[in-house]
Amino acid sequence: MIGNGQIKSDEIVKPKEFIMEEENKSDFIDDDFDFVIGQVISKFLSVLFDYPTEDKVEKSKSLAEFLRAHKDILPDYIVELADEVSKMRFSENLQADYVSIFDFQTPPFISFCTQVENPNLILILDSIYASEGVYVDETKLPDEFSTIFEFLSLLYSRKRKDKIKYMSVILKPVLRFPEPDHQLYGKVVKAMKSFVQNFLFEKGGEF
């Protein structure tokens, strides 16, 4: 998204940096943990909605392991997706399935989900991205799911509560996005919709 289409690496805290020693857990503020979990889930969805490469599969599996380690406090739909991703293997078949579902059947863009065309959507997204010093390169579009969830992950890392709530309104149309009949991507879409509905839209980004 910045420069080469990705958020700067130092903005995304690696899962292993979230894992605390048992004796330090009592010192961790619940509100901060909400931001951490929101950041990881958003990054998780961003990677999964992008075209699968070996590197992205490994990143998604790493994030899945962190989420599975905290399954006792996470919604079932996230745990179910993390369990599925932990078994995922990179293959040309996976890439072909992605192309079939998201390139030809149901493009993963907010504009695909809107019942009434909103000509201002891209301008609104560009504006909110720019407010955080972020721009979208030529290989991505502002309303692409992978772009939006990566940006949302950045907002969580910076603890931008107001902008997180604003993004929940922008994301509301994705609740109409159809769930594909696919073992992995069906769960990805289901988790995305549940995250937007339950975590973002109803709770304002808080557990």
Domain ranges of the chain: 29-201
What pLDDT is stored for residue 13 in this prediction? 39
Alpha-carbon dihedral sign for residues 199, 201, 206, 207: negative
Task: Quote the longest CA-to-CA distance of the chain.
Answer: 53
pLDDT in tens, 72-123: 999 999 999 999 999 999 999 999 999 999 999 999 999 999 866 677 899 9
Regarding predicted confidence, which is higher, 15 or 150? 150
Q: Which residues contact 80 (CB under 8 A, 6 or more apart)?
A: 187, 191
Residue 77 has a pLDDT of: 95
Q: Residue 31 has what pLDDT?
A: 67
* Residue 46: per-residue pLDDT: 98
The pLDDT score that the predictor gives to residue 137 is: 85
CATH dotted code for 29-201: 1.10.3480.10
Cα end-to-end distance, the chain, whole Å: 27
Average pLDDT value for residue range 145-165: 95
Say yes or no to pLDDT of 16 above 90. Answer: no
pLDDT digits (tens, 9 = 90+) for 56-73: 999 999 999 999 999 999
Mean pLDDT of the 164-178 span: 92
pLDDT of res. 199: 73
2 three-class SS: strand
**Tens-digit pLDDT profile for residues 17-69:** 333 333 333 333 356 778 899 999 999 999 999 999 999 999 999 999 999 99
pLDDT band at 202 (very low <50, low <70, confident <90, very high): low
